[in-house]
Structure 1
Amino acid sequence: MIPPEDRRTLLRIAEQAVACALRGETYEPETPGEGALLERRGAFVTLERNSLLRGCIGRIASDEPLYALIPLMARDAAFRDPRFPPVTEEELPQLSFEISALGPARTIADPEEIRLGIDGLIVRHGSRTGLLLPQVATTFGWTKRQFLEETCEKAGLAPAMWKETATVEAFEAEVWRS
């Protein structure tokens, strides 16, 4: 579990990374001495403006510690999410930042193993991978089956591929926001 102070630090790092990039500056967070900021795990940064998605980028796993990964994902969410134009300086005060720190994935054999609102999903088939964070299913009010189908579609697969030859994994995530 990431302590509240480290959560606040990671949010500050994400916000500063985007603010510095908008000014054309490089942002290098200070290296922490110990603790959760040094954990090596996957993470996603989600940006919202007026409660609407504005960008979301992350990694399933990472060799980078969280304090170094979060600014990279924040910049990518702000400027490289192909679904949106780059964030502007005028938008910055209106943005809220959300961080999802991923736990280890486990293979799912039966949809009943999925815990809506707790588990995120990863569907893999060949070179295709789709991931949806735990909060997505509850935001849209999906059933377990809909969550699986939407994750397949995110991977560019047919919605029913989860029943066929795709590998389905679930993971927990610690999620917090500014």
Structure 2
Amino acid sequence: MPNFEGAQADEIARRMIDVAEGYLADADQLSSIGCYSENGVSMLGIIGFEIYLKAAVLLETEFRPPSHDYWKIWNMLSEDSRDKIYNEAKCRLAVEPALDDLKKLFDDLRNAFEKGRYSYEINDDRNADAAASAGRKWIAAGGNLADADLRFHPEARVGLVHALREFCNDMRSPSHDATENA
């Protein structure tokens, strides 16, 4: 796990945040023109979320996590920081059941990223007709999220990105530095 100190950690986190914002802006742009092919909007959103989560850990611990294990990365943050981020996300969304089980949410996002970024891989064991048929059957059965191959949780992810953005901004603010050094 890369270890950075002080100003170097802050500079790398700033660059990470810039990259995350780029992915999130691209997702917003694609969404605004109605482009949903190949799960592109969701993938860009997950990448932005992942980078923000890693930046938050970097700002707090001076370590940058290397994996896509969002639950493990989340738990690298202090309990106080996790509570602050979680509560901000809950306030932002009011009602979002996915936030009630963060481990499952993070596992779903990891699975969506790892298996959904190349949509053809999730259907390696199905031919094109079987893949299309599986999708039609899922929709006909009511499209229950629990039965989906991939669960992107866009509302929960957007709420968490908002909360992570606030957390990272607070961690990078001059008033935070003055408090830490007092």
TM-score, normalised to structure 2, is 0.25
Specify which structure has the higher proportion of strand. 1
Specify which structure has the higher proportion of helix. 2
TM-score, normalised to structure 1, is 0.26
Structure number with bigger Rg: 2
